[in-house]
Chain A
Amino acid sequence: EDKVVQSPLSLVVHEGDTVTLNCSYEVTNFRSLLWYKQEKKAPTFLFMLTSSGIEKKSGRLSSILDKKELFSILNITATQTGDSAVYLCAVPSLLDNYGQNFVFGPGTRLSVLP
């Protein structure tokens, strides 16, 4: 059974801190791993990772994938209160020869205090 695990489930930091969120996965026919940010609404796409060791970066957020050890990390530097959200990790899982599901982890709830 395909599975995605995230840690920690909850994290409280102060503005300016750097955080690292973890995502590990077990999935057959791995193709990619996605990170989403969810505030009080629908998840919004952050990154898609397909290759090991290649960092994806967007402002203060960056992410990297390790396909050998089956995990990814999401780093946020110089955190701001606007970074407070649930961060979801997801992995597409083949449903059949051409279809796919997205298996989501439980999410990491990040709270950034002023």
Chain B
Amino acid sequence: DADVTQTPRNRITKTGKRIMLECSQTKGHDRMYWYRQDPGLGLRLIYYSFDVKDINKGEISDGYSVSRQAQAKFSLSLESAIPNQTALYFCATSDTRDSRSYNEQFFGPGTRLTVL
């Protein structure tokens, strides 16, 4: 079983619709992240969370919101989707309590979102 899962894997929606992307992890990690990936731009951080009830904006948070419902769950919402939010979205986790993996992130499989 995958340690970091994302749902849905693919989604096509229309401008103005509200969309939620879900991320779950079984690794017991404290930190969770949402990135979007666009061709030629690498991964850019949208939001991150250090633990439940701790939410922080990343580089490109406008137009997005998040919720950390539990240590294992971190969801990303697009309140009113627009076409330039078409991208590949990745959830990732890291564990700052384990010195061996402190600097390593583990990625989910990604969600390909298309906004028409």
Chain A, interface size category, equals 20 to 34
Please classify the interface of chain B as helix (H, G, I), strand (E, B), loop, or mixed, using the class held by over half of its residues.
Answer: strand
Q: How near does chain B come to A55, taking the closest CB pair, in angstroms? A: 18
Contact with A along B69-112 (1 / 0, CB 8 A): 00000000000000000000010100010000001111111100
Contact with A along B50-62 (1 / 0, CB 8 A): 1000001011000
Q: How far is the CA of A41 from the CA of B92 in the complex (A)?
A: 13
The answer to whether B103 and A92 touch across the interface, beta carbons within 8 angstroms, is yes
B45 surroundings in chain A (CB, below 8 A):
101-102
A107 surroundings in chain B (CB, below 8 A):
42
Q: How far is the CA of A42 from the CA of B41 in the complex (A)?
A: 16
A42: contacting residue among B48, B50, B107, CB under 8 A: B107
- B116 interface residue, CB < 8 Å from A? no
**Chain B interface residues (CB < 8 Å from chain A):** 4, 31, 33, 35, 40-45, 48, 50, 56, 58-59, 90, 92, 96, 103-110
